[in-house]
Structures are given as C-alpha cells and as structure tokens.
Amino acid sequence: MTGRALVLGGGGLSGIGWTAGILYGLAEAGVGLWDADTVIGTSAGAVVGAQLTSGLLTPEGLYERQLAAPHGEIPGHLSPAGTFRHARAALSARTPEDFGRTMGHIALAADTPDEATRRAVIEGRLVSHDWPGRPLLVTAVRATTGEFRVFDRDSGVGLVDAVAASCAVPGVWPPVTIGDGRWIDGGVRSPANAQLAEGYDRVVVVAPVATGGGALASARSQAERLSASGARVALVTPDRTTRKAMGHNSLDPSYRAPAARAGREQAAAHAAEVARVWGRLSKGRRR
C-alpha cells in the first residue's frame, strides 16, 4: 500500500483543541493535510478525524470551533486514585488485551453519566453524523475481552457510536453499546494506534500524548517502527509551552481554546519537516 496517512491520537478535550490548532497552523504555513488518503483517529483524534473528513470544515473553521464556548460539554475528571489504577494496570499487563480487559472492568463498574447523555455530547461535537466518502478509521476496545477494533464506513456501525466508543475513557465515561458488545476508548490499546498506518509511504502522526508505558506502545515508538519499515514519518507532539496550555486535566472543556491557540503557534516549528514527509505544499495559505 502506498499513499499518505494522517494519524490523530487521543488526548481529551485539550487534545482536540491542540490537534485542531496544529492542523490549522500547518495549513497557514502552506502544509495542508486535508488531502490525506486515510485518516486514523483515536479518541480525541476520532473527533478531529470525523470533522476533517466531513468535507464541511476548512482548517480555519475547525480551529475556530475550538475557540467557541464549549456549550453542551460535560467536564470530566479522572481522580488521582483512578490515574493510579490506570498506570498500575498498564505496567502490570503482559499484553494490550490484558490491559484492555482490566480497563474494561474499571469502565463497566464505574459510576458515570448514562450512555444517552454522553452520546448527545458526541453528536454535538460532530458537524456530520454520516461516515465520510473517503477512508476514516476509528479505534475502540471491547470492554469484556480487550479486543481491538477498527470501525469504518463498512463496519455497519454508525459514525456517532464509533466516535463515542473511541472517546469512552474508562472510569469517566460509560462504555458504548454496539451490537452485543460494550466498547471503550481506543487509547486503551495505544495513545495513537499509528501501527494502522503500516504500508503507507508517507505518514504524519499528530499525538497529544506521545508516551506509552508497559503494554501501551507509545506514539514515538510506533513512529520509529514505521520509519524503520521504510516510510517517511513526521511525529508532532506537544512542546513544553503547549503542555502548560493544555492544563492538568485534559477532560476540562476550559482548556480546549488555550490548547488550540498553543497548537497553532507550535505548528510553525514543524512545518518544514511535515512538508518534507507529505511531499507537497499547498499553494499559499490554505483556508
């Protein structure tokens, strides 16, 4: 397989904002990624990927949405105890499936908003509820088995449900019922799932969370593996200034706009590298 793959990783609401800012900042610098042959989205990246491939938003439009008041969002928070359970499970799991099952158990036992309420939030984030005409891959994990699943337009699953599943942070949001299964955040497998870009010769990975740990492969290690296989790869992760702007709670809607602004500013530092990987520049500023 050849072509261009754009990988968008997870990172909560601040991750959505930052990713949108990066994409707009790159477009301003003449590096438009809207023409990706395939977009791979995990959690926050699934939201941005669905927006990007909808055909209804320009890079600027996607960015401007992050600056608007976050009406309809429900603030989320993972307690210190919950964070510790996640970290302990990642370090002790022998395989990604082991970790997925542990996270699924946590998700199924947690006291969270109901599915319908959470689904309405995801509906409000998306400008289109239909799968796009070009390839969009959305990742999720089955709560009971740790099975990794990739949803697309041929999977028989609606876009809203697929994105809601990919964004179902264990212990914070409810698992999403699809068919006879309950599904949780695709980031439980990997923060970026850049392994799905294997076979593409040009890959850009935009990862709000670059690190992994234990059974979770990091975006950085996955990018290095893609490079070792012969692909041209650019990895974009938050710099120090951006990490500060993204705050300590990625699920707090108030951090979305500052993260978007920080991403837009940071993009200039990556434009040349991304252009070399992507293989062509937009003509002037892309709007």
| Bridge partners, 136 (sequence order) | 39
In a domain, 85, yes or no: no
Q: Catalytic: 43?
A: yes
Task: Name which of 7, 13, 36 is nearest 280 in CA terms.
Answer: 36
In a domain, 79, yes or no: no
* CATH code for position 231: 3.40.1090
Gap between the Cα atoms of 92 and 87, Å rounded: 9
Residue 118: both structure tokens together: 């959470």
In a domain, 208, yes or no: yes
HEC string of the chain equals CCCEEEEECCCHHHHHHHHHHHHHHHHHCCCCCCCCCEEEECCHHHHHHHHHHCCCCCHHHHHHHHHCCCCCCCCCCCCHHHHHHHHHHHHHCCCHHHHHHHHHHHHHHCCCCCHHHHHHHHHHHCCCCCCCCCCEEEEEEECCCCCEEEECCCCCCCHHHHHHHHCCCCCCCCCEEECCEEEEEHHHCCCCCHHHHCCCCEEEEECCCCCCECCECCHHHHHHHHHHCCCEEEEECCCHHHHHHHCCCCCCHHHHHHHHHHHHHHHHHCHHHHHHHHCCCCCCCCC
Instruction: Using the predicted structure, report yes or no on whether residue 134 has a pLDDT greater than 50.
Output: yes
In a domain, 81, yes or no: no
| Bridge partners, 6 (sequence order) | 39, 204
Q: Which residue in 14, 43, 166, 250 is the catalytic one? A: 43
In a domain, 105, yes or no: no
Q: Which residue in 161, 166, 185, 250 is the catalytic one? A: 185
Tell me the average pLDDT across 76-104.
81
In a domain, 59, yes or no: yes
Beta strand 38-41 pairing with 4-8? parallel
In a domain, 240, yes or no: yes
Q: Which domain holds residue 142?
A: 4-74+113-278
Tell me the average pLDDT across 116-122.
97
Phi and psi at residue 236, to the nearest 5°: -115, 120
User: Tokens 């990713």 label which residue?
Assistant: 19
Instruction: Please tell me which residue, 1 or 60, carries the higher pLDDT value.
Output: 60
Torsion of CA 103, 137, 119, 104, to 10 degrees: -10
**Confidence tier at 14 by pLDDT (50, 70, 90):** very high
In a domain, 104, yes or no: no
Instruction: Using the predicted structure, report yes or no on whether residue 245 has a pLDDT greater than 60.
Output: yes
> pLDDT tens digit string along 147-187?
999 999 999 999 999 999 999 999 999 999 999 999 999 99
Q: Cα–chain-centroid distance for residue 118? A: 17
Query: Model-level pTM?
Result: 0.94
Tell me the average pLDDT across 237-256.
95
Count of domains for the chain: 1
